Amino acid sequence: MENCIFCKIANGEIPSATLYEDEDFRVILDLGPAAKGHSLILPKRHAANLYELPDDLAAKALIVARKVGQTLQMGLGSDGLNVLQNNGEAAGQTVFHFHIHLIPRCTKDGVGMGWKPGTLTEEDKEEVMALFR
């Protein structure tokens, strides 16, 4: 994809702090990290979001997340890891080339990623469950 910055980074046209690379993915350090070690898994083939990602790459992406995430967490001595993936502007996506965030977490690191729990109403439950009937 022309003019896609993550295509250029993933394929090595733009230099990046690369932690891991294989034939399908490059994992880089995020330039605006939420925490130390915040990384991005980028497929080398362009897909705007999860819905456009081919099945084989979707499956492989989680294996890369486990592999790199574990090295980050163990190596940095973190207490946990967030695996995060945004689809669409409303969901916080700002770069429209699929990517998975790996964010090493420490207890009381102050990184905000939560929500205020609501209540599951009968109406919502019915509406959503009906989508799968």
Encoding tokens for residue 40?
Answer: 């991005």
Binding to ligand AMP by residue 80, rule CB under 6 A?
no
> Between 114 and 118, whose beta carbon lies closer to ligand AMP?
114
Query: Closest distance between Zn ion and the C-beta of residue 124, in Å?
Result: 35
* Chosen residue from 92, 124, 127, 128 binding ligand AMP by CB under 6 A: 92
Binding to Zn ion by residue 7, rule CB under 5 A?
yes
Residue ranges in 16-75 that form contacts with Zn ion under rule CB under 5 A: 46
Residues tagged active-site: 99
> Between 1 and 128, whose beta carbon lies closer to ligand AMP?
1
Task: Write the DSSP assignment of the chain as a string of letters.
Answer: -TT-HHHHHHTTSS---EEEE-SSEEEEE-SS-SSTT-EEEEESS--SSGGGS-HHHHHHHHHHHHHHHHHHHHHHT-SEEEEE---SGGGT--SSS--EEEEEE-TT-------------HHHHHHHHHTT-
Cβ–Cβ under 8 Å, residues 105 and 111: yes
Query: Closest distance between ligand AMP and the C-beta of residue 52, in Å?
Result: 14
Can you give the binding site for ligand AMP, defined by CB under 6 A? 5, 28, 30-32, 40, 86, 92-95
Can you give the binding site for Zn ion, defined by CB under 5 A? 1, 4, 6-7, 46, 97
